[in-house]
Amino acid sequence: MIVRILGEGQLEVAESATGELNVLDAALEKAVNSGDEEAFRPALTALLDRVRALGAPLATDVLEPSDLIFPPADADLEEVRGMMTEEGIIPG
């Protein structure tokens, strides 16, 4: 599958990685929902690090939409929360 880390571009990740990413994503979700700043940063970093480790950068001339999109690495909790609602995403 193709994933995008906002601000970094797209990566090709094996479908089999979904389970592992779901676990990391659940930890991030918990931190965001409970507004837990301390847990948030490590959770986001862990998730994105894993995506980068598992993924291979997509060739720049490939024009394909992503299956999954991840928040930027330097986003703060409020930004991520915003990206999960209508107001948060800035349209291109």
What DSSP assignment string belongs to 43-65? HHHHHHHHHHHH-EEPPTT----
Other CB atoms within 10 Å distance of the CB of residue 36 = 13
9 binds another protein (CB under 8 A): yes
69 binds another protein (CB under 8 A): yes
| Size, binding site for another protein by CB under 8 A | 36
39 binds another protein (CB under 8 A): no
Burial class (CB in 10 A: 0-12, 13-18, 19+), 82: middle
Which tokens hold the place of 73?
């690495």
91 binds another protein (CB under 8 A): yes
Question: Which of 11, 13, 55, 80 forms a contact with another protein (CB under 8 A)?
Answer: 80
**Amino acid in the structure at residue 84:** M
Question: Which of 1, 14, 20, 26 forms a contact with another protein (CB under 8 A)?
Answer: 26
Q: Which residues bind another protein (CB under 8 A)?
A: 4, 6-9, 21-22, 25-26, 28-29, 32, 47, 60-72, 80, 83-86, 88-92
